[in-house]
Amino acid sequence: MKNTNGNTILNSPPLEGRGAAVLNSSPLGRSGGAVSTQNACKLCSPLGASVAYKGFEGCVPLIHGSQGCATYIRRYLISHYKEPIDIASSNFTEDSTIFGGDRNFKIAAQNIINQYKPQIIGISTTCLSETIGDDITLFLHELKSEDFDGNVEFVVASTPSYQGTHIDGFHEAVAAVVRKFAKKGNTGNHINLFPGFISTEDIRLLKEIVADFGIETAILPDYSESLDNPVWDTYKRIPEGGTTMEEVERSGSAKASIEFGTVLNLGKLSGRVKNQNLTKTAAQYLEKEMDVPLVRLPMPIGITQTDRFFEELEKLTGKKTTEKYTKQRGRLVDAYVDAHKYVFGKKAVVYGEEDFVVGMCAFLDEIGIEIVLAASGGESGLLEKEILKHCPENGEKITVREGFDFESIREWSITNKPDILVGHSKGYYIARELEIPIVRVGFPIHDRIGGQRIKHLGYAGTQELFDKIVNTLIEYKQDSSPVGYKYM
Amino acid sequence: MPNKKNYTNGLPDPSELKEEILKKYPRKVAKKRAKAMIVNDPSEGQEIMANVRTIPGIITQRGCTYAGCKGVVLGPTRDIINITHGPIGCGFYSWLTRRNQTKPAEGEDNYMPYAFSTDMQDENIVFGGEQKLKTAIREAFEIFKPSAISIFSTCPVGLIGDDVHAVAREMKAELGINIFGFSCEGYRGVSQSAGHHIANNGIFKHVVGNTDRERTGKFQVNLMGEYNIGGDAFEIERIFEECGITLLSTYSGNSTVESFAYSHTADLNMVMCHRSINYIAEMMEEKYGVPWIKVNFIGAESTAKSLRKLADYFGDDELKAKVEEVIEREMAKVKKVAEEVKPKVEGKLAMMFVGGSRAHHYQDLFKELGIRTVSAGYEFAHRDDYEGREVIPNIKIDADTRNIEDLEVTKDEEHFRDDLVTKKAKLEKEGYTFKDYQGMMPEMSKNALVVDDVNHWETEKLIEFYKPDIFCAGIKEKYVVQKYGVPLKQLHSYDYGGPYAAFGGAVNFYKEMERMLATNIWKLVDAPWKHEPEIVGSISIEA
């Protein structure tokens, strides 16, 4: 058996930590709903918040909790982005845990200001600080009335790891920034774009599209520069880039907000029903409080969803899509036609964060790939409905699972024998065991270079993604064939 | 790439650099950091401040107690199911990220590819998570039938009052396998070092001595504080096997709980990473009379020295001869590569800020290539790792250290090795040293700057001052340092490489240094037009 690189799988040396037990299917029937989580398909809330904060200019994230939270999250993000990512911590100790974290918090804030001179300190809470009930708003009030040195804004997002996933943290932080700085004003000609947790390359693609439409657009958050830096002549303690304070302020007077994602942080959190009357996302807040109309679209992956995005841009600008994009679209459809024979009827397992799974399923459904399982560690309660809505071809045949972990995905895959996995690096071990290919998309990508530069969105992004999926399938077929075709 | 300084007449006095670094800090912080930065003078017994809390808001390299306990010490053990009791983050982040390799025999259990978590939710925080933990344990048992399960507490667990030890006892009785818990909440202690200590205590209390094993070799040893990153342990195991030394157990690279259980039947413990594992070595000596020596298998010369020390302990002529034979053969291979590489890298400058032993051990490897260490420090070590074990009685016990249980260990009359105690006494009389960790500082050059728990600001200034050719740290520092145009070698995970231990490892490391230090990539940083004036051309004014 060969893997996609043409290396023989069975003769390869045992992977680190790979052993006999991996190959045994568990007898418990995990798909039936085990209580514990084995190899989770979700990350924790402060991670998402930290990514979002990195997308605002001059912002330094601060995680209010044990130093391990910041260290682990930094390690995870740095391994994906391969960039310096400074996230401060209030370094809780045993006595802060008992007496409250106010002292540590204030020292941390002062030290960040001294070192970084940031415009914003973006605070995420943790399971520790939330459990002991630290009131950050009170700390900030005290801090400002004390001998406080520094001109800085503070933003607070409540992100205990026991509520939701990293995606909840992401949206929570974006909303916190917008709530804090957006100003109501006379409606301008600019728009807001809330893209969700996408790759830095995707953000650059979106910027190009809106620039070509000639519409002034604030992307919130925009970490396309700060998390994907060039080499530097001199070291920059806070990397350049990010949505500017002015852009955030003006988000309150925008002509409209476009928000990617239909699950967002709107669903119930695991084990807790949210107050549905609360505004949850930043765009929702702007709509309700500042009368900025909200257009909510699934992630623009594939023709159908990208068309919707372009239609909205046409409506908002009164301009026609330029030839550059109609040609991109034309080439993409042409490629669909050309490659249909390779992908039709192939069975895929898709996993990751919920909105990403919805977008990816809509695209795969469109090109004739049969999605056998769409799974996420998130538990919004909305995933199935959204997938049905956006997968008109075969949506009803898709098994949708929320709150799934990788062991459940693995067990399910052993039974249902997919041809391909589509998702991030953590599912690799399943692909390896089943001897099927994996196409790496989303976050985290820890076993390949350039995870932050993977394209997923728009016609151009979809084109790359499509080619990659098709070529992966072709390569697999080629490698598995005894003939050694040079012509597929 | 910064220009290199000429250090042929010794290292420059970095006192001014130190002053400059401290100037930036508030008074109190400056006072504290001053004690953690020492201009080294090996002829004097200098004191460094170490293992003290990190200042909040300063970007630290350090991790938490949970990371030290679950990730470092128990992480590389393959036949135990490690359940993280807490919300999902901690378990997820410690899932197979340390590159510890393991080699299970055919059909043997390996649970390292799994990250078990109770994935605590809102209601577990409010109403308690003990029931969920019990269910998780039962599920893990039902699926895998492991011989042991351990529970690792994350921050909220201690706060909401979940008693993981009581749950462990109850489940142990119910399921009939060894189950034990660790109170390794992230906020305990000043760094992952607290987690190492807690893990040492737990293993010693719940595992060591559980089974006896018939002697299987003439020379039975344990290797402690070796975590098989990039296959280091495999290389050391290969050498031991060839020398006829029986390795009972490694703490904890390529290890099993099963082997910990009979590790007390060894004749000697060899300690590599003193910081993370000396507690078990100490307790094993107290309880079973097994003595320990400090060894180092990083660096070919150090490996040879450690092997000889081991052979001298047993005093067996056949063993000594075999060890010499292996050293001679292996060193011939090592020297061949060293001779090729050394002329290309000699005189280069290195800095390393990592771990509790690696920042010391790797200086030996660099020395073999003629690369000088200008500045170094540990991430989570204590004073004894810098200054040597003789300072232990003088180390101030602070509140953070007091929080960690100090196990009361008593002599095990049945298993106690009086023969080893006699042997130790005899050898000591002859000048053989046990428990002899001298620390990092006495082995470093005069004027080298030793910095404990280095942070971003200090790193920046250190690079500016020393203009090192290579910087050794971990993934969190890698891209920061490389943005300065200095290559960074990860000494936690070895980047993609390894093994670097013992003789074969030294060869790998030499070649790695040749590759990293000779790369032309940095020359591309400056675009060709950068030094040109932006506008070129001539203007002629015609009348």
Sequence-separated (6 or more) residues with CB below 8 Å from residue A25: A411, A414
CB B126 within 8 Å of CB B113: no
The CA-based dihedral angle spanning residues B184, B185, B186, B189, taken in that order and rounded to the nearest 10 degrees: -60
Are B59 and A88 an interchain contact pair (Cβ–Cβ within 8 Å)? yes
CB A238 within 8 Å of CB A60: yes
Cis preceding-peptide flag for B252 (omega within 30 of 0): yes
- B15-23 and B456-466 are packed helices; what angle lies between their axes, rounded to 10 degrees? 150
Sequence-separated (6 or more) residues with CB below 8 Å from residue B92: A40, A42, A43, A44, B115, B117
Query: One digit per residue, pLDDT tens: chain B, 543 residues?
Result: 445 567 878 999 999 999 999 998 888 889 999 999 999 999 999 999 999 999 999 899 999 999 999 999 999 999 999 999 999 999 999 998 889 999 999 999 999 999 999 999 999 999 999 999 999 999 999 999 999 999 999 999 989 999 999 999 999 999 999 999 999 999 998 999 999 999 999 999 999 999 999 999 999 999 999 999 999 999 999 999 999 999 999 999 999 999 999 999 999 999 999 999 999 999 999 999 999 999 999 999 999 999 999 999 999 999 999 999 999 999 999 999 999 999 999 999 999 999 999 999 999 999 999 999 999 999 999 999 999 999 999 999 888 888 898 899 999 999 999 999 999 999 999 999 999 999 999 999 999 999 999 998 999 999 999 999 999 999 999 999 999 999 999 999 999 899 999 999 999 999 999 999 988 888 888 888 766 555 555 555 544
Q: List, in sequence order, every residue forming a beta bridge with A64; answer none if it has no partner.
A: A125
Per annotation, catalytic residue among B78, B99, B188, B196: B196
Bigger pLDDT: A24 vs A310? A310
Residue in B with minimal Cα distance to A272: B122
Domains of chain B: 65-186 (3.40.50.1980), 220-343+388-429 (3.40.50.1980)
Structure tokens at B511: 């070649």
Domains of chain A: 20-36+323-480 (3.40.50.1980), 45-297 (3.40.50.1980)
> At A412, which amino acid appears?
W
Q: What are phi and psi of B22, to 5 degrees?
A: -70, -30
> What percentage of chain A reaches a pLDDT higher than 70?
91
C-alpha to C-alpha distance for A378 and A354, rounded to whole angstroms: 6
Are B144 and A21 an interchain contact pair (Cβ–Cβ within 8 Å)? yes
B64 is catalytic: yes
Can you tell me whether residue A88 is helix, strand or coil?
Answer: strand
Q: What residues 212-251 of chain A have any CB closer than 8 A to a CB of chain B?
A: 229, 231-232, 235, 237
Question: 0.90 exceeded by the pTM?
Answer: yes
For position A29, what pLDDT does the model report? 40
Whether chain B has a CB inside 8 Å of the CB on A448: the answer is: no
List the one residue out of A423, A400, A420 whose CA is nearest residue A351. Answer: A423
For position A19, what pLDDT does the model report? 35
Are B125 and A127 an interchain contact pair (Cβ–Cβ within 8 Å)? yes
> At A307, which amino acid appears?
D
Residue A314 burial (CB count, 10 A) = 13
C-alpha to C-alpha distance for B499 and B236, rounded to whole angstroms: 10
Structure tokens at B246: 């029986």
Are B144 and A104 an interchain contact pair (Cβ–Cβ within 8 Å)? no
For position B76, what pLDDT does the model report? 96
Whether chain A has a CB inside 8 Å of the CB on B345: the answer is: no
For position A149, what pLDDT does the model report? 72
pLDDT digits (tens, 9 = 90+) for A227-269: 999 999 889 999 999 999 999 999 999 999 999 999 999 987 6
Q: List, in sequence order, every residue forming a beta bridge with A422; answer none if it has no partner.
A: A350, A439
Task: Please determine, for residue A18, whether its predicted confidence score (pLDDT) is greater than 50.
Answer: no
Sequence-separated (6 or more) residues with CB below 8 Å from residue A443: A80, A197, A199, A352, A353, A424, A451
Per annotation, catalytic residue among B50, B64, B304, B376: B64
Give the CB-side neighbour count of residue B448, counting CA atoms within 13 A.
26
pLDDT digits (tens, 9 = 90+) for A19-75: 333 333 343 444 446 789 999 999 999 999 999 999 999 999 999 999 999 999 999
Are A108 and B100 an interchain contact pair (Cβ–Cβ within 8 Å)? no
Are A74 and B106 an interchain contact pair (Cβ–Cβ within 8 Å)? no
pLDDT digits (tens, 9 = 90+) for A458-483: 999 999 999 999 999 999 999 999 99
Are B64 and A162 an interchain contact pair (Cβ–Cβ within 8 Å)? no
Sequence-separated (6 or more) residues with CB below 8 Å from residue A395: A361, A365, A387, A388, A389
Structure tokens at A233: 């002549």
List the one residue out of A333, A362, A335, A338 whose CA is nearest residue A350. Answer: A362
CB A91 within 8 Å of CB A67: yes
CB A219 within 8 Å of CB A259: no
CB B227 within 8 Å of CB B253: yes
Per annotation, catalytic residue among B33, B78, B85, B98: B98
C-alpha to C-alpha distance for A342 and A336, rounded to whole angstroms: 10
Residue with the two structure tokens 């070698």? B489
Whether chain B has a CB inside 8 Å of the CB on A66: the answer is: yes
pLDDT digits (tens, 9 = 90+) for A158-192: 999 999 999 999 999 999 999 999 999 999 999 99
Can you tell me whether residue A163 is helix, strand or coil?
Answer: coil
For position B335, what pLDDT does the model report? 98
> Between vectors from CA A125 to CA A235 and to CA A111, what angle results, nearest 5°?
40
List the one residue out of A105, A291, A271, A266 whose CA is nearest residue A196. Answer: A266
pLDDT digits (tens, 9 = 90+) for B278-335: 999 999 999 999 999 999 999 999 999 999 999 999 999 999 999 999 999 999 999 9
C-alpha to C-alpha distance for A175 and A122, rounded to whole angstroms: 12
Taking CA atoms, A432 is separated from A25, B103, B218, in Å, by: 14, 18, 42
Residue A100 burial (CB count, 10 A) = 18
CB A458 within 8 Å of CB A310: no
Residue with the two structure tokens 């590819």? B113
Burial (CB count within 10 angstroms: exposed 0-12, middle 13-18, buried 19+), residue B407:
middle
Q: Are strands B37-39 and B449-451 parallel, antiparallel or unpaired?
A: antiparallel
C-alpha to C-alpha distance for B27 and B215, rounded to whole angstroms: 60
Taking CA atoms, B400 is separated from A94, B52, B189, in Å, by: 8, 9, 5
DSSP B192-227: HHHHHHHHHHHHHHHTTTSS-----SSSEEEEEEE-
C-alpha to C-alpha distance for B89 and A169, rounded to whole angstroms: 12
**H or E element that contains B492:** none
Q: Are strands A420-423 and A191-194 parallel, antiparallel or unpaired?
A: unpaired
Q: Are strands A399-401 and A59-64 parallel, antiparallel or unpaired?
A: unpaired
For position A10, what pLDDT does the model report? 34
Q: State in Å, rounded, how far the first CA of chain A is from the last one.
A: 19
For position B484, what pLDDT does the model report? 92
C-alpha to C-alpha distance for A277 and A284, rounded to whole angstroms: 11
Residue in B with minimal Cα distance to A427: B113
CB B188 within 8 Å of CB B404: yes
CB burial readout B421-434, b (16+ within 10 A) else e: eebbeebeeeebee
For position B253, what pLDDT does the model report? 97
Residue with the two structure tokens 């290309």? B344
CB B82 within 8 Å of CB B116: yes
Confidence band of A14 (pLDDT split at 50, 70, 90): very low
pLDDT digits (tens, 9 = 90+) for A70-122: 999 999 999 999 999 999 999 999 889 889 999 999 999 999 998 899 999 99
Distance of CA A58 to the CA centre of its chain: 21
Whether chain A has a CB inside 8 Å of the CB on B472: the answer is: no
Structure tokens at B126: 């409010």
Bigger pLDDT: A95 vs A439? A439
Nearest by CB: A86 against B26, B59, B143? B59
